[in-house]
Amino acid sequence: MRFIRTKAIVAATGLALSLAACGDAGNDSKSVDVDVAKDAKFDTGSRMAALADQGTINVGVKFDQPGLGFMETGADLPQGFDVDMAKLLVASLGIDPNDTSKVKYVETISDNREPFLESGKVDIVAASYSITDERRAVVGQAGPYMVTGQQLLVPEDSDAEGPEDLKGKEVCSVTGSTSLDNAKEQGMKPVGFDTYSQCVDKVLDGTVEAMTTDGTILLGYAAQNEGKLKVVGDAFSEERIGVGYSKDSPEMCQWIVDTLTKAEEDGKWADAFDANLGGSGAETPDFPEMDTCS
Amino acid sequence: MDAVLENFPDVLHAFGYTVLLFLVSGVLSVVGGTLLVAMRVGPIPVLAKLGSTYVILVRNTPLLMVFFFFTFAGPKIGIKFNFVDVHIGSFDFTAFFAGAVVSLTVYTSAFVCEALRSGVNAVSLGQAEAARAIGLPFSGVMTQVVLPQAFRASVPPVASTLIALLKNTSVAAVFGVIEATSQMKIMTNNHADERWGIFLAFAIGYVILVELVSLLAASFERRWRIA
Amino acid sequence: MTASTVLFDAPGPKARARHRTYSVVALVLIVAVLGYVVYRLADAGQFAYALWEPFVTTRYLEAILWAWWDTITMAVLAVLGALVFGLLFGTGKLSDRATIRRISWLVVEFFRAVPVIMLMIFSFYAIFDSMSIERGAYWSVVLALTVYNGAVLAEVFRAGVNALPKGQAEAAYAIGLRKTQVMNIILLPQAVKIMIPAIISQMVVAVKDTSLILIVFAIGLTKIAKQLPLSFNNIVPTAIVIAALYIITNLALTAIANWAQRRFVGEKEILTIAPVGQDAMSL
């Protein structure tokens, strides 16, 4: 009881604050419209049928990567390209992806995507999840729905043209990401920070020579900081971003592939890309060829 | 434990950074804390007020936020450490190391100041009075009579502060320094099945360092004990 | 030496004039430095309304309030847990049995020597990540801070019991009480009373340490520090606001601790404990 009362006090204080508040800050949410399937039919006994039956699903996404998976402070729904892919999948089960009483978006970080799938904390993961053989040994990965290449973001006046010019130099990326490992392989000194925008700050103030991650993300930051930052070099790695699912339910693979293929055909995939990652000089790429499910 | 043994050079290297962070910020913090305590007990009210405000603000701010300020807010007003670019052997001392040293020093100085102040309070009244009676000014009273005794009396609390500093160097892991905790995080993620062993190995590393500092402090305390 | 005035003579007219000059110079310097900082921040556009607007907008204020609530509850739960842990191992260290004493000593020394941030990383990945529990990060903070602060409180507790006059225990034994009774009826209640300020002070430590979970996962006030700048590119204003919230919270806690000190202990000094690692003799 005590606890509930204190909670009420906090809520009341919040209300009082909000009455006094006069600001109107906020960002428009960008998201693709999805159609909730009316007559979702799945093989009996399949994981999809079970999820459609219970009408609820847990989805693992990132909360801290604007453009891919991002939960705005105080928002109910995450947004981003990964999130839209998840929404398309959820909608195909006949579940409204914008209804937070049915869909729980769980924040996953790079290091806990596999444990979350294995322990069943989440049913699918769409969190800039690169497909690798090591990961496929423990969880299922379908896709890719996006293929990106890792590039470099440097100050406008930098002479660096590619990884070879930055050997032995400090290069920033997000802690726990494959980009960081790739940078190390290329002979750069990786420095891990929490978010990409912190890395952008570090490039802008000259603490590091460059930051590195997917080219699409970097183009967005270059556009925001025109005249100060530029993207250089050819992609020096290929990341194949896919959807993760539990190894216990191999039937989910074909469902994911089919749903995303359909999204490509009816233009939703391209819409999602434009809404989240377009508009900053990144051209909508071709839909990648997906791996066949075994 | 296999992962630790295989990567033993990396582990040692990481602890090297921990020790270096500790030594550099430890020395600077003792200097900073001494200046602060002189300000706090000195005759100039403005400086006394400044000293106590500083101590109150810093003591109540999480170290992580102090790092946050020096990493992200500092550069916006020209506080940058980019000029630091020293490489000794396999150790790199760049802006990240310098930023960590400054953050740790700013934070720990406040605690050293409080520890020293307890030491100053432990010096008996007659000492300062006698010093004044023979005509020493405030600076003489402090540097020749009070502080030397205060340092001795405050060995245990300062030691506690420095041990806390040693453990606090781990916060640098969040801000780009690959010291022991950062290395542990990397290793536990690459060898998820050996988490317990890796954790234990690094924990023992810290315990050894803490015990070393503690033993050193205890021997100083014995040697300097005021009769 | 209580009053610092014994450190210097009462200033005469000349010294007073000199101190006035120093004061003015110091004041001018302080104002100049602060002014320069404000000027540089303004110059960098950090006072633009757009960067501060979220802090007067309802939905962000609510989010900040909930984050603050998380921070407070994590610290409170951790200190409550730490009390249990501290009582357990504090009494363990006073036990008659050598085995219990040694185990308690080992546990307390270990958790006092290991950085909290490491305890958090470990409990986040190794304990809560594979458990089907919601808000694993929240509970890893609580667990890590429980064992760390518990180890500190075990020492505080032992110091509290040892600070009691010997006659208390002797008198209790004299009237025929057994060891557990002496502890529970006579020593504990008195020790806890003089421990209260130290326990509340430990709350300040716990509140500050909740921020360390940022190394693996953002939760509480530091979550705002991480996430809000992603929307508004306002890392400096956010850092100022979040730091201010921590400071206000901790100042309130310190005020409570001081009040409790006066109320329960009187003007005696706050309990102090030996640095970790200097207790090998109790083996």
pLDDT at C76: 93
pLDDT at A158: 87
- The span from the CA of B40 to the CA of B32, in Å, is 12
Q: What is the ipTM of this complex?
A: 0.88
Q: How many CB pairs under 8 A join B and C?
A: 186
Angstroms from C160 CA to nearest CA on chain A: 30
pLDDT at C209 over 90: yes
Average pLDDT, chain C: 87
Concatenating the DSSP letter of every residue in A116-166 gives: HHHTTS-SEEEEEEE--HHHHHHSEEEEEEEEEEEEEEEETT----SGGGG
Interface contact flag, B75 A205, Cβ < 8 Å: yes
Any idea which of A217-221, B46-50, C114-118 has the lowest mean pLDDT? A217-221
Interface contact flag, B80 A207, Cβ < 8 Å: yes
- For residue A38, give the 3-state DSSP assignment: coil
Look at C94 and C152; give whichever has higher pLDDT. C152
Average pLDDT, chain B: 89
Interface contact flag, A192 B176, Cβ < 8 Å: yes
Q: Could you read off the pLDDT of B170-183 as tens digits, one per residue? A: 999 999 888 999 88
Q: Could you read off the pLDDT of A199-238 as tens digits, one per residue? A: 998 999 888 999 998 887 888 888 888 888 988 888 888 8
Angstroms from B227 CA to nearest CA on chain A: 52
Helix (H) or strand (E) segment spanning residue A69: strand A69-70
Which residues in C lie closer than 8 A to residue B123 (C-beta atoms)? 1
| Residue A195 touches partner B, C-beta closer than 8 Å | no
- The span from the CA of A219 to the CA of A235, in Å, is 13
pLDDT at C1: 45
* C146-172 CB burial, b ≥16 within 10 A, e <16: bbbbbbbbbbbbbbbbeeeeeeebeeb
Q: Helix, strand, coil % (nearest 5) of chain A?
A: 35, 20, 40
| Residue A25 touches partner C, C-beta closer than 8 Å | yes
pLDDT at C282: 40
Interface contact flag, C59 A201, Cβ < 8 Å: no
pLDDT at A34: 76
Kindly state the DSSP code that residue A76 receives in the 8-state scheme. S
pLDDT at B227 over 90: no
Q: Which of A217, A163, A206, A159 is nearest to A188 (CA)?
A: A163
Interface contact flag, A201 B80, Cβ < 8 Å: no
Count other C-beta atoms under 10 Å from residue C28's C-beta: 11
| Bridge partners of residue A125, in order along the sequence | A60, A244
Q: Could you read off the pLDDT of C75-91 as tens digits, one per residue? A: 999 999 999 999 999 98
Which residues in B lie closer than 8 A to residue A108 (C-beta atoms)? none
| Residue A134 touches partner B, C-beta closer than 8 Å | no
Ranges in chain A, pLDDT < 50: 1
Pick the residue of B65, B112, B165, B171 with the most C CBs within 10 A to test the interface with C by mutation. Answer: B65
- The span from the CA of A265 to the CA of C84, in Å, is 61
Nearest residue of C to residue B66 by CA position? C243
Which residues in A lie closer than 8 A to residue C55 (C-beta atoms)? 23
Whether the link from the prior residue into A155 is cis, omega within 30° of 0, is no
Q: How many CA atoms lie within 13 A of A165 on its CB side?
A: 14
Nearest residue of B to residue A109 by CA position? B189
The amino acid at residue B192 is A
pLDDT at C74 over 70: yes
Interface contact flag, C118 B160, Cβ < 8 Å: no
CB A241 within 8 A of CB A148: yes
Determine if the pTM surpasses 0.90.
no
Interface contact flag, B210 C236, Cβ < 8 Å: no
Which residues in A lie closer than 8 A to residue B175 (C-beta atoms)? 193
Kindly state the DSSP code that residue C272 receives in the 8-state scheme. -
- The span from the CA of C244 to the CA of C229, in Å, is 17
- pLDDT band with cut points at 50, 70 and 90 for residue C281: very low
Intra-chain end-to-end CA distance of chain B, in Å: 48
Residue with tokens 């500790």: B22
Look at C143 and A18; give whichever has higher pLDDT. C143
pLDDT at A17: 58
- pLDDT band with cut points at 50, 70 and 90 for residue C34: very high
- The span from the CA of B74 to the CA of B106, in Å, is 13
From the list C54, C227, C233, which residue is nearest A23 (CB)? C54
pLDDT at C112: 92
| Bridge partners of residue A140, in order along the sequence | A245
pLDDT at C280: 46
Q: Could you read off the pLDDT of C245-280 as tens digits, one per residue? A: 999 999 999 898 888 888 887 766 666 677 676 654
Q: Could you read off the pLDDT of B127-173 as tens digits, one per residue? A: 888 888 888 888 888 888 888 888 888 888 899 999 999 999 999 99
